[in-house]
Chain A
Amino acid sequence: MLKTFPKGGVHPEEGKYSANSAIATLPLPKTVSIPIAQHIGAPSKPVVKKGDKVKVGDKIAESAGFVSANIHSSVSGTVVKVDNVLDSTGYKRPCVIIDVEGDDWNENIDKTEDLKKEISLTDKEILNKINESGIVGLGGATFPSHVKLSVPDGKKIDVLIINGVECEPYLTSDHRLMLEKAEEMLVGIQILMKALSVNSALIGIENNKPDAIEHLTALVKDYPGIEVHPLKVQYPQGGEKQLIKALINREVPSGGLPLDVGAVVHNVGTAYAVYEAVQKNKPLIERVVTLTGKSVQKPSNFMVRIGTPVNDLIEAAGGLPEDTGKVINGGPMMGKALNSLDVPVVKGTSGILIMPAELSKRKEESNCIRCAKCVSVCPQGLEPYLLNRLAQLEKNDKLETGGVMDCIECGSCAYTCPAGLPLLDYIRLGKSRVSQIIRSRKQ
């Protein structure tokens, strides 16, 4: 029996078209626009101004607090402006726009491909390095990594969990990374283990990636303390709480964090970025992005500089298909639909999914028939049909007691609803209202 989380979950069509295409390096773009808010927490403060020359890896925006992250230039060239630019939501957000000139790297960065296994830094130094390099959770949540690694007093961490699940359909960036950069990633995991001073790390991988499981299982023999665990293909296996439950059978308390049960979860992409930062001195300036979709000519995985326009990726994969109806930043279950293709790739962009028009429209809505399918698929044990109704009626107190804050917004309920109801739309609205109320109560 494969390990999995005990309750709920769905199994959408996997559609991993790009699983067999090796990571290709995308040509440098002409200009990049790098948003200063690419992570959860305070937006960074720009430290460059119009006309400044920057090299690859130079810091262009500084972390503005503990929960924030540095941002580095992903290209070399001249800063054109620091201005508000439309982002993926259509609202204007501050961005640093750089015209690309050549590919001139900051001289501190080790550009060689050699694997460097020995970890010379102490745990404090590792933490500083990660903080300095602007590393955030690359699974999509973009939570600054150094925050997760700074364990508060009184908490004991005994296990590091590495998320190689990639439960989102279509996406394959983590899958390719595990195949092609496995050793680097394992060293990265060792670095993370050292920073947290734990002796055990578990890599969870969904069973639809047998090649990655096999490859890593063979390699981990040389890396004491690291284990690979195949997991059942079930969405949302990669949800932090679900993954912890599946791997070590501990349940993160409602409203709590993984460190309340002695675990820290990092994505495989983050582990690779940590390796590059600590061993090669290379800040987070590029990442693997999957460009895929049913009618995309060449579904691919690209190594992309942060700030590259999404359009460049689409061109490299054979252009935008005729029948495009929707372009999604991320996977089909939790990704955000884009309304412009000029928006840049950011630290949290794990994939760009192009949906054909006939799959883009939502189902027609009809009455709720109380079939309870949403209740049975909810991995958090909530009652989506009820929360949906309460959110529509703005019964915020009942929403709170109904556990709306426990919702992980995985979308299983809306996915499975035979009546095509926009359950998660309303639940998310209710959640944001309730969290506002909770915040104002604390003040």
Chain B
Amino acid sequence: MSATILFTIISLSAIGAVAAIILYFVAQKFKVYEDPRIDQVEELLPAANCGGCGFAGCRAFAEAMVKADVLSDYYCPVGGNEAMTAIADVLGKSVEAKDPLVAVVRCSGSPAHRERVNSYDGAASCAISSSLYSGETGCQYGCLGLGDCVDVCDFDAIYMDEETGLPIVVDDNCTACGACVKACPNDIIELRKKNKKDRKIFVSCVNHDKGGVAKKACSVACIGCSKCVKVCPFDAITMDNFLAYIDPNKCKLCRKCVTECPTGAILEINFPERKVKTEETAKKPVEKAENKEQDNN
């Protein structure tokens, strides 16, 4: 009996030793030199592997940055300026601070405002629905409500509101990686500057139809009346094909356009309560969105 045990131990140890020696030489022979800074840079990245930088994962991004001469084209939206400065220190290069961004959903077409005219019964995917037809409502531009943006978000930063059927961004979780922007077939989601206290003003509509058509399909659509363009003191608002757009870089958050908009298509979010009461109709949808947003924060 003891002889069996002894033989087993000896033979197994011998096999182990031989294998170890072979492995050692093979490892030596096939050793690939890797810049140690890649590991250092990777350490500093958030390891979210979200692809928000445009590379396939954090390591690929780190490799690209180590090779690059200047870092101006590289930015990790998840790590933000903090991570980028730390990486620049490691690589002995410099970076400029960028404004942090956040995703906003530019559609307020809840069933209350935008009537459903048919019912979609296919696979629950916006991509499939949009390739089939214009959607359940009369508006061919707005949110389809099937949640492709929610499916792609790695950070739990977006969810579907059950009542409105629209996606809601959780500002604190959003890293502006842009996955939802790419996933949305109707290009409703936009990355906008994250202002102080997460305040933002934007046109919550992407409908390019003429006023009457847009209004018929959805009561909170932008009808292209250009009132906001005229009232804006900073020339931040442009009108393109019956749709207003507020340039986040020019907008100074004065909120004049919000009260001017006849349909309430322009939203103000995370602002303190106004002192002067405005018209009921204009205020309604705004309040709604405001409350939602505060619930999340």
Chains A, B in direct contact (C-beta < 8 Å): yes
Give the contacting residue for B122; candidates A91, A339, A422; CB below 8 A.
A422
| Interface: A362 (CB within 8 A) | yes
| Interface: A425 (CB within 8 A) | yes
Q: How big is the B interface, by class?
A: 10 to 19
Separation of A91 and B133 alpha carbons in the complex (Å):
7
Collect the chain A residues with CB atoms within 8 Å of residue B122's CB: 362, 422, 425
B interface residues with partner A (beta carbon < 8 Å): 117-118, 121-123, 125, 127-128, 131-135, 140
Most buried by A among B117, B131, B133, B134: B133
| Interface: A92 (CB within 8 A) | yes
Separation of A86 and B121 alpha carbons in the complex (Å):
21
**Cβ A428 vs Cβ B128 within 8 A:** yes
**Cβ A90 vs Cβ B135 within 8 A:** yes
Q: How far is the CB of A91 from chain B (nearest CB, A)?
A: 5
Question: Could you mark each residue 167-210 of chain A with 1 if its beta carbon is under 8 Å from any beta carbon of chain B, else 0?
Answer: 00000000000000000000000000000000000000000000
Question: Could you mark each residue 349-372 of chain A with 1 if its beta carbon is under 8 Å from any beta carbon of chain B, else 0?
Answer: 000000000001110000000000
**Cβ B121 vs Cβ A425 within 8 A:** no
Collect the chain B residues with CB atoms within 8 Å of residue A360's CB: 121
Question: Can you give 17 A-B contacts (C-beta < 8 A)?
Answer: A88-B133, A89-B132, A89-B134, A90-B134, A91-B133, A91-B134, A91-B140, A361-B121, A362-B121, A362-B122, A425-B122, A425-B123, A425-B128, A426-B128, A428-B128, A429-B125, A429-B128
Q: How far is the CB of A214 from chain B (nearest CB, A)?
A: 41
Give me 14 other A-B pairs in contact (C-beta within 8 A), A90-B134, A429-B127 excluded: A89-B132, A90-B133, A90-B135, A91-B140, A339-B117, A339-B133, A339-B134, A362-B122, A422-B123, A422-B128, A425-B125, A428-B128, A428-B131, A429-B125
Shortest beta-carbon contacts, A-B, top 7: A90-B134, A422-B123, A425-B123, A89-B133, A90-B133, A339-B118, A425-B128
A interface residues with partner B (beta carbon < 8 Å): 86, 88-92, 336-337, 339, 360-362, 422, 425-426, 428-429, 432
Collect the chain A residues with CB atoms within 8 Å of residue B135's CB: 90
Q: How far is the CB of B181 from chain A (nearest CB, A)?
A: 16
Q: How far is the CB of B116 from chain A (nearest CB, A)?
A: 11
Separation of A92 and B213 alpha carbons in the complex (Å):
12
Give the contacting residue for B123; candidates A86, A92, A426; CB below 8 A.
A426
Separation of A88 and B128 alpha carbons in the complex (Å):
16
**Cβ B131 vs Cβ A90 within 8 A:** no
A424: nearest chain-B partner, CB-CB: B123
Separation of A428 and B202 alpha carbons in the complex (Å):
35
Q: How far is the CB of A74 from chain B (nearest CB, A)?
A: 25
Collect the chain B residues with CB atoms within 8 Å of residue A361's CB: 121
